[in-house]
């Protein structure tokens, strides 16, 4: 046996023939991302069960010069997990063991294919909190979260995925295993290698396990849905929240009225918590380690904000169901936007104080380009991270509108650049923003990135066509 058949046979001897899938029907789910925006091709979907098998598969691929696309839950939003072809897709889903929960060290060690929800549950079972939280948490994996340095709705209090990892285990593009799976909070033994692989989107190696930070579970939590006049007021409200509750401010999410309109129109069970319409809304959540210690301060804080004219109305969640109903309004936005037709997306960040001016100027720039396009700018305002999405004009042709994707991006990203912002705040580069990265990133920084890539992956087999 020789050529591709011999290569696939070699992989089958490593992982078992049931885990080298070549049938087009079995491959299909790994070749397209759920929104259908990216489709690729691959020789096989390979599903190793542990780090040793990942290492052997990667070594075989290096020998055969066969590229590899690592894949976790396939929820990435920039196409990084979809093979361009004709490489193999290496699924990490069978690496699904919780290796260790250490409540005393506040540490959790899990394999890369453990879903985010399973990692949260493992922490919860030990009466601890793993705070990373994304709408895709039932499907996305820890390996994918770290590879994209995922953000989500609790970054304000706990940081991005990067801040939540103390160590990783990684298979290099030649099959060797780098074991820096440390649960230590202090370890200054040379370069911080874990940070090289976190956020690398599978272009430098394959994360097979991670040591994660755990926290005390909050004893009380309060959530409010607030109506207000403008992003300027929302910014002032955020500053006031931080002054009053410090690190207890876990989430501070901004929504425009149009986003709420979309959700009320299309999301099942969605209800407006406030009596009348408001131009903007904030979903704010506080936690505390003092049992039942938050309701009164939050009510007083909201009353004070109303007296000072910062907010116009607010509802405080009186139960877990009400809290979930508030979050449904925020977390349905991306999905319901699809029902309203095509949308051109921008996952951007600017310095916090610049958010209101950015919103005004970017909206004006969009209006100049496509006068009846609908700006739906929402997101993690407390992080300065706005999902600046532009929905097509009512009744417009979807394909014609989407054909202007790059032109619209340019207009919005020019405003981002004016404020020294980022054109990729939390979703990564993948395939979607590769050209943009090459055009916009500082040339010396790009050179350093290329040098790192060439050193670790001289054959260029690790997730080619992504990031660089």
- With b for 16 or more beta-carbon neighbours within 10 A and e for fewer, the 405-436 pattern comes to eeebbebbbebbeebebbbbbbbbbbbbbbeb
Could you list the beta-strand ranges (E) of 233-319. Answer: 249-256, 280-288, 313-316
Answer for which of 143, 227, 273, 356 binds ligand FAD (CB under 6 A) is 143
Q: Does 145 bind ligand FAD (CB under 6 A)?
A: yes
Stretch that binds ligand FAD, among 134-142, 177-185, 369-377, 400-408 (CB under 6 A): 134-142
CA angle at 346 for the pair 428 and 418, rounded to the nearest 5°: 100
Q: Alpha-carbon distance 175 to 59, whole Å? A: 4
CB of 278 to ligand FAD, least distance (A): 24
x/- map, 415-454, ligand FAD, by CB under 6 A: -----------xx--x------------------------
**Cis peptide bond upstream of 86, omega within 30:** yes
x/- map, 59-78, ligand FAD, by CB under 6 A: ----------xxxxxxxxx-
Please list, in sequence order, all residues whose beta carbon lies within 8 angstroms of the beta carbon of residue 448, skipping any fewer than 6 positions away.
Answer: none
| Site size toward ligand FAD, by CB under 6 A | 36
111, 52 Cβ separation under 8 angstroms: no
Q: Alpha-carbon distance 124 to 416, whole Å? A: 39
If the CB atoms of residues 421 and 430 are measured against ligand FAD, the closer one turns out to be 430
Answer for which of 141, 223, 409, 424 binds ligand FAD (CB under 6 A) is 141
Q: Alpha-carbon distance 10 to 12, whole Å? A: 5
If the CB atoms of residues 81 and 107 are measured against ligand FAD, the closer one turns out to be 81
Answer for which of 48, 67, 152, 273 binds ligand FAD (CB under 6 A) is 152
Residue 10 CB-density burial (10 A; 0-12 exposed, 13-18 middle, 19+ buried)? middle
If the CB atoms of residues 112 and 344 are measured against ligand FAD, the closer one turns out to be 112
Largest CA distance in the chain: 80
Answer for which of 60, 114, 134, 336 binds ligand FAD (CB under 6 A) is 134
The CB-based long-range contact list for 241-247 (8 Å cut-off, 24+ gap) reads 241/284, 241/286, 241/301, 244/297, 244/301, 245/286, 245/297, 245/301, 247/157
Stretch that binds ligand FAD, among 131-139, 281-289, 307-315, 432-440 (CB under 6 A): 131-139
CB of 89 to ligand FAD, least distance (A): 9
CB of 14 to ligand FAD, least distance (A): 17
Q: Does 206 bind ligand FAD (CB under 6 A)?
A: yes
Answer for which of 67, 80, 199, 227 binds ligand FAD (CB under 6 A) is 80
Q: Does 285 bind ligand FAD (CB under 6 A)?
A: no
Answer for which of 51, 53, 81, 363 binds ligand FAD (CB under 6 A) is 81
CB of 253 to ligand FAD, least distance (A): 10
199, 235 Cβ separation under 8 angstroms: no
How far the first Cα of the chain sits from its last, in Å, is 36
If the CB atoms of residues 138 and 277 are measured against ligand FAD, the closer one turns out to be 138
Q: Does 173 bind ligand FAD (CB under 6 A)?
A: no
Q: In Å, how far from its chain's centre is CA 90?
A: 21
If the CB atoms of residues 66 and 147 are measured against ligand FAD, the closer one turns out to be 147
CB of 395 to ligand FAD, least distance (A): 27
Q: Alpha-carbon distance 63 to 459, whole Å? A: 10
Q: Alpha-carbon distance 142 to 430, whole Å? A: 17
Q: Does 332 bind ligand FAD (CB under 6 A)?
A: no
Q: Alpha-carbon distance 418 to 307, whole Å? A: 35
**Which residues of the chain form contacts with ligand FAD (CB under 6 A)?**
69-77, 80-81, 92, 112, 134-136, 140-141, 143-145, 147-148, 150-152, 201-202, 206-207, 334, 426-427, 430, 463, 466
């Amino acid at each position: 046996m020789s050529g591709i058949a011999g290569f696939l046979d070699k992989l089958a001897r490593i992982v078992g023939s049931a885990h080298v899938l070549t049938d087009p029907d079995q491959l299909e789910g790994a070749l397209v991302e759920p929104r259908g925006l990216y489709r690729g091709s691959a020789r096989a979907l390979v599903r190793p069960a542990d780090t040793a098998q990942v290492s052997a598969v990667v070594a075989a691929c290096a020998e055969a010069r066969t590229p590899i696309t690592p894949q976790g839950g396939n929820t990435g939003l920039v196409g990084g997990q979809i093979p361009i072809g004709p490489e193999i897709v290496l699924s990490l889903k069978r690496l699904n063991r919780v290796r260790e929960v250490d409540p005393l060290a506040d540490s959790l060690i899990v394999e890369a294919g453990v879903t985010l929800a399973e990692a949260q549950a493992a922490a919860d079972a030990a009466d601890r909190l793993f705070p990373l939280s994304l709408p895709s948490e039932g499907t996305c994996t820890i390996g994918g979260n770290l590879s994209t340095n995922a953000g989500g709705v609790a970054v304000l209090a706990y940081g991005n995925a990067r801040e939540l990892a103390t160590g990783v285990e990684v298979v290099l593009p030649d099959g060797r295993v780098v074991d820096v799976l440390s649960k230590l909070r202090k370890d200054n033994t040379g370069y911080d290698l874990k940070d090289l692989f976190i956020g690398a989107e599978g272009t430098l190696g394959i994360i097979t396990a991670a040591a994660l930070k755990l926290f005390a579970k909050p004893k009380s939590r309060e959530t409010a849905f607030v109506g207000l006049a403008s992003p300027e007021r929302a910014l002032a409200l955020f500053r006031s929240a931080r002054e009053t509750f410090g690190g207890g401010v876990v989430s501070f999410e901004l929504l425009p009225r149009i986003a709420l309109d979309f959700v009320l129109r299309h999301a099942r069970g969605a209800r407006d918590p406030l009596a009348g319409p408001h131009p903007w809304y904030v979903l704010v959540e506080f936690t505390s380690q003092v049992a039942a210690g938050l309701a009164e301060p939050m009510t007083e804080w909201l009353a004070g904000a109303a007296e000072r004219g910062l907010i116009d109305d607010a509802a405080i969640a009186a139960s877990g169901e009400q809290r979930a109903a508030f979050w449904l309004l925020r977390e349905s936005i991306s999905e319901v936007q699809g029902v309203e037709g095509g949308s051109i997306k921008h996952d951007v960040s600017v310095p916090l104080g610049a958010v209101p001016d950015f919103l005004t100027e970017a909206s004006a720039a969009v209006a100049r380009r496509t006068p009846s396009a609908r700006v739906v700018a929402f997101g993690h305002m407390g992080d300065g991270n706005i999902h600046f999405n532009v929905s097509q004009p009512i009744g417009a042709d979807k394909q014609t509108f989407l054909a202007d994707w790059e032109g619209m991006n340019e207009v919005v990203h020019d405003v981002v650049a004016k404020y020294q912002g980022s054109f990729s705040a939390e979703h990564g580069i993948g395939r979607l923003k590769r050209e943009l990265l090459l055009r916009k990133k500082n040339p010396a920084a790009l050179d350093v990135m290329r040098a790192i890539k060439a050193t670790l992956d001289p054959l260029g087999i690790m997730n080619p066509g992504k990031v660089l």
